[in-house]
Each structure stands twice: as C-alpha cells, then as structure tokens.
Structure 1
Amino acid sequence: MNQSSTRTALVTGGARGIGAAIAERLAADGMKVAVIDLREEDTADVVGRIRAAGGEALGIGANVADEEQAAAAVERVAGELGAPTVLVNNAGIIRDNMLFKMTRDDFDSVMGVHLTGNFLMTRAVQGHMVEQKFGRIISLSSTSALGNRGQTNYSAAKAGIQGMTKTYAFELGKFGVTANAIAPGFIETDMTKSTAERVGVDFEDFVKGAIAQIPVARSGKPEDIAHTASFLASEGAGFVSGQVIYVAGGPKT
C-alpha cells in the first residue's frame, strides 16, 4: 500500500475528458477520489470505473461557482472520504467568440466557472490541507493563457489561474501545501470536438491541422494531462510549487 492511499483527492469537472482521466489516474495511484460535476448522475460512469478497478470514489453534483454548493461539496467529501488534501481545479466552460460578438454573459460565465470556481474550491479545501500539513493544489490553465483568437474570455481566465496559482504557492507553502498549474495544448476531448463543430470543420481534419503545428507530431490525449497531475499530486513533488507546466507537445512562448 503506497503512502498516497491515505490521501483524498477532489477533481472538479471530473465527469468526462481531462477531469475523468485525472480522477481515474489518481485512483490508480491509490487515492480516494471525489468526482464533482454539475450533475451527480453525470459522474456515475467515472465513479463506476474507479470502483470496478478496486478504488474508492464518490460522485457529487455541484456548481463550483456557487459559494454554498462549493463549500457543501467539500464538507461532504471530508465526511464521506476523509479530509481532501489533493484538489484538481479542472471545471471549465468555453463561450468562444470574436471580441465584437462576445456578450457580457459570454465573458462573465467563463470567468465565473474558471476563476470564481477555482477560488471558492481552493478556499474551501485549504483549511483541511493546512490542518493535515499536506496539500496539493493543481489547476488547469491552457496555452490559451498566452492569447488565442476568439477567446478573450477564456484566455483571460486561464491567465488569471496562473496568477492565482503562484499566489496560493506563496501563501500556503509554509503549511506543506504546493500549488501548480498545468497548461494543456491541443487535447482531443469533447470540448475540442465542439470547437470543430462550431467553426464548421470536420474533427479529423481539425486534429490533423493541429498536429501539423505540434513538434512531437501527435495530438494530446487526456491521459497526457493525467500523468502530469499524478506527479504534481505525489509525495515526491513537494519541492515543486508555483509552477506552470505546459503540456503541449513542444515549447510555448
């Protein structure tokens, strides 16, 4: 039994895609895993796969951008699985549009989930981490933090996550808590499929176009992000904090 078997991890936006891959990987690492998504029933598949593999998992429905729901979700995790000391802030939405077409609601909705949700979940969990003298905060940023056409809202949110991550690292480091961000490049998920549909491009062609610009000559998979999250959540990553790791198949500037 490895040391991480005593840990409880909480993954937001964990019902599918990158979040699901991270949840399953942390469970395989020996952690108890709480999977949070908007609707509890949407977490059933991931929770079922974790349990079928011999792991312990709990599905919770909550809007992470709602203060009461975020706090209640964390307390339920603490009560049913144990104090959460690994938090993966993965929940996110896209409302892409060119600046002149982007509505206030498009902007505010993205900020609410990515930034407010990150803040509320981290604030709710950090007390448990400080008490346990161990914590791992892992937030999902993106290469879009460097700027991307049609993503004023998303780019701002993902850049903001990087600043929040570094601040968490400064404030919580003395309590044994690290904070890092993962910035994925092109990853094949339902979200990228919806982007292809929105711009009217066949997904296979969309993927080929992305691969042509990636130095390692392949697209990313959710498991690529899960591997990085596994390291950052580990005991051995205790001297890595305040970092943004670009997982994009090549350098980003």
Structure 2
Amino acid sequence: MGLNEKVAVITGAASGIGLAVAEDFAASGAKVVIADIAGDRAAEAAERIRSNGGTAIGLAVDVTDREGVQVLFEQTEAKLGPVDILVNNAGISVDRGVRRITDEEWQRTIAINQTGVFLCSQAAAKSMIGRRTGRIINISSRAWLGWFGQLAYASSKGGVVSATRSLAIELAKYGITVNCLAPGLIDTPLLRREPQEVMDRLLQAQPMGSLGAASDVAWAARFFADPANHAVTGQILYVCGGKSLYAQPASS
C-alpha cells in the first residue's frame, strides 16, 4: 500500500486513462479525487471506486478556469486533506492539418492541454511547497515528437514536456518531483471512436502492432507517485509500444 492515505487529484478522470489511474491509486490506498468537466460522470466513477472499497470523491472542474481550479483544490483539502499527488491528465485531441485547423481549435487545444497543466500545477505547488513534499505527474503524449495532422495536439503536448522539466528544476529544492508520461496508442473509448480504416493505419505504424492498455499508463503513474521514488524528477516515460523509437511505414 505504497500510496496509503495519500490524497491524489486526477484531472480528466471520469473515463479512459484518468479513470484507470484513479482506480489503480485507490487500490494502492490513496484517497482519490475524480476531477472532470463532466461532473455527473465523475461522481459515478467515484461511487464505483467506493463500492470496491476505495476512497474517492467526484468533483466537476474546467481546468482552463483559474477560479474553478482553485475551488477544486479547496474542496479537496476540505474533504480529504492537502493534495499529495496531482495527475494532469485532462486533455483533448484535434486532428487537423495546417491548412484546415481553425483558430478556435488551436486555442481550445492549447487551453485544455497546456494551460490546464499550468493552472493545476500552480495550485498544487502552492499547497506542496510548505509541506516540502509532493508528486506532480503530467500526461503528455508520444505525439509531442510529431505526427501527421497533429500540429495543435503535438504543440500542446510538447509544451507539457517543457513545463515538466522547468517545474522539476524549480520545485526540486522543496522535495517535489515532477515527471511526465507519454502514452502512445492506448485502448480507450476516445480512440475506439476512430473509423476502422484509421485504426488499421495506426496499428500498421505501431512497432508492437497492438494497442496499449490504460492500466499500463496507470502502472507507470504509480511508479512516479510512490513516496519511495524521491530521486526521479524531470523525466519522460514513454508507454507507447515502441512508437517513440520509430514508426513502421504504412505499407510495411
């Protein structure tokens, strides 16, 4: 029970990777906050964790709204205690080439994927610095290395990687670690919305030829969150089936 009694806030946690992280942390003894813009779904997810013996609450939050983020941390502390672990998972993906992407799509992607990380990390740091302990885990993407039609998404996730490194440097003297996960193709409801021909093409480019599981990312997040892991900071851990190394040509 390495995370026993630790308070963990996971954004975008009503489904997919965020939910897998929340379930894993709760099974490891953490008190988790399912923070999601879909408040009803967050509450339902928290109830499922409680029914399995875990400690969880669901709270609605828009990570692009400073006041809303502040309320999230205030409610968390009032209900569960000060935040020990923050997982910045909330994000969206817009697949548009440079000739087609709109201003609105660009701004929304940057706001959720990058500004959301800033606002939540700032709130968490203010709480953690005084206690000289804490774990911040940012969810980027293998796509930050670049991919077709992902100008906005890759740019925003590249910003998350840079933010991770800068935060790690700034917060190290307070005993706070900041690390980054870069998932590749992970089997989530969002990915499953893609047409079959798109899925086939993505899998062709995957060195392992298969999708990863959300639980794979959750395991990696728990590694970064573990209190015993106090010397690893500013790092990027790929959970991508080898795609960060190279991508198969679609014809191979």
Is TM (by shorter chain) over 0.5? yes
Matches within 5 A, 1:135-214: 135-194=134-193, 196=194, 201-202=195-196, 206-214=198-206
Letter in 2 for 1:70: V
Kept in 1: contact 2:138–2:160 (CA 8 A): yes
- Compute the displacement of 1:94 (Å): 1.8
Contact 1:210–1:219 (CA under 8 A) maintained in structure 2: no
Structure 1 residues 56 and 154, CA, compared in 2 at 3 Å: closer, same or farther? same
Per-residue deviation, residues 99-143 of structure 1 (Å, max 9, x unmatched): 111100000000000111110001011122112221110011001
Gapped runs of 5+ residues in structure 1?
none
Alignment of 1:9-88 (within 5 A): 9-88=8-87
Displacement, 1:207?
A: 4.1
Contact 1:207–1:219, Cα closer than 8 Å, also in 2: no
- Normalised TM-score (structure 2): 0.93
Between 1:12-21 and 1:35-44, the stretch displaced more is 35-44
Letter in 1 for 2:121: T
Q: What code does the residue aligned with 2:205 have?
A: Q
Query: Are residue 243 (structure 1) and residue 235 (structure 2) matched?
Result: yes
Closer, same or farther: CA 208–150 of 1 in aligned 2, 3 Å: closer
- Once residues 95 and 209 of structure 2 are traced to their aligned partners in structure 1, the CA distance between those partners, rounded to angstroms, is 26
Alignment check: 8 A CA contact 2:83 2:127 kept: yes
Give secondary structure in 1 for the equivalent of 2:4: helix
CA RMSD of aligned residues (A): 1.4
Length-normalised TM-score, structure 1: 0.92
Native 8 Å contact 2:184 2:243 kept in 1: no
Q: Distance in 1 between matches of 2:218 and 2:2?
A: 19
Identity within the alignment, %: 35
Output the CA distance in 2 between the equivalents of 1:3 and 1:103: 45
Q: Output the CA distance in 2 between the equivalents of 1:82 and 1:143.
A: 34
- Return the offset for 1:215: 3.3
Residue type at the aligned position of 1:29: S
Q: Which structure dedicates a bigger proportion of its chain to helix?
A: 1
Q: Quote the offset at 1:96 in angstroms.
A: 1.8
Deviations 1:35-66 (Å, cap 9, x if unpaired)?
11013111133212210121111100010100
Give how far 1:251 is off. Answer: 5.5
Q: 1:3 Cα deviation (Å)?
A: 5.1
CA distance in 2 between counterparts of 1:250 and 1:30 reads 31
Distance 1:100 1:206, change over 3 A: closer
Whichever residue aligns with residue 238 of structure 1, its letter is: H
CA contact (8 A) 2:36 2:62 kept: yes
Q: Return the letter of the residue paired with 1:241.
A: T
Verify the 8 A CA contact 1:85 1:132 in the aligned structure 2: no
Q: Over residues 215-239 of structure 1, what are the superposed CA-to-partner deviations in whole Å (9 max), with x where a residue is unaligned?
A: 3342111111001001110012211
* Equivalent position of 1:112 in the other structure: 111
Structure 2: distance between partners of 1:187 and 1:142 = 10
Q: Which runs of 5+ in 2 are unaligned?
A: 246-252
For residue 4 of structure 1, give the secondary structure of its aligned residue in structure 2: coil
- Secondary structure, aligned partner of 1:137: strand
